[in-house]
Amino acid sequence: MLGIDLSDKRALVTGAGQGVGRQTALTLAEAGAVVYVNDLRAERCDAVVGEIRALGGLAEPLVFDVTAYDDVIGAVTSTGGLDVLVNNAGNAGAEGFNFGPVAEQDPSAWAPYLRVNLDGVMFCTRAVLPAMIEQGGGRVVTIISDAARLGEPRMAAYAAAKAGAAGFLRSVASEVGRHQITVNCISLGTMRTESSGPDLEETNPEFLKTLLRSYAIRRRGEPSDVANLVAFLASPLASWLTGQTIPLNGGYSMAL
């Protein structure tokens, strides 16, 4: 049976202090990578690093804001070069959600989504590429949303930012493939995380039932679902897979 071995790799996971990012960091460390755990909050970084080390893995905290380019460059430089970047930081960062109809929103409400989901992805990707090119290989995996693929109502700015990131990364994939660098996106459906209400099964089962009617597999995604696919894309097993957006959504939408 094929296994995933990342024991000679250095990986940065942004937004890794909780949810999907936390589980991704744990999974990459379990596969043997040295994981740099990023979050805006030092206590979150330290907690996840502590979890990884308690399990025998290798991890370091890396506190920085993905929307501050100079900070991104400084943090990435401090690692000495990375083999894997997971662009996971998303939503609206520390400012929280502010969804609503476009016709009723002030455009200033859109800026946090663009900063985190588009600028942050562009900044982090730009920061890691020179070392990956020099070493002749690397992996960039970016978490986007089915809101970008399908056009969810009341989420236009978020959808625009995620779609922009996917378009940016397709171009990057075309540029860097000759250096054995692969660049892919994972497009998520509804997830079960802290920010999305993990206890809906108990607090609002009827709403959850309605929410999942459009899903072929009628459950929300778990962080482990994402982490396992990230680990595959980060591994040598995915060396001929690049420039793709892979739906991971329980059949909420289907791709040809």
**Burial tier of 194 (Cβ tally within 10 Å: 0-12, 13-18, 19+):** exposed
Domain membership of residue 4 (yes or no) is no
Q: What is the CATH number of the domain that holds 184?
A: 3.40.50.720
Alpha carbon distance 244, 33 (integer Å): 24
In a domain, 250, yes or no: no
253 within a domain of the structure (yes/no): no
Catalytic position from the list 36, 113, 158, 252: 158
Cβ contact 182:233 at 8 Å: yes
Q: Which range marks the domain in which residue 168 is found?
A: 10-244
Q: Is 5 contained in some domain?
A: no
- The structure tokens 């909420």 sit at 252
Region 237-248 average pLDDT: 98
Write out pLDDT tens, residues 76-128: 999 999 999 999 999 876 565 678 899 999 999 999 999 999 999 999 999 99
Whether 112 maps to a domain, the answer reads yes
Q: What is the pTM of this model?
A: 0.95
How many folded domains does the chain comprise?
1
In a domain, 161, yes or no: yes
Asked if residue 232 is part of any domain, the answer here is yes
158 is catalytic: yes
CA 165 to chain centre: 11
Place of tokens 């609503």: 100
Q: For residue 238, is it within any domain?
A: yes
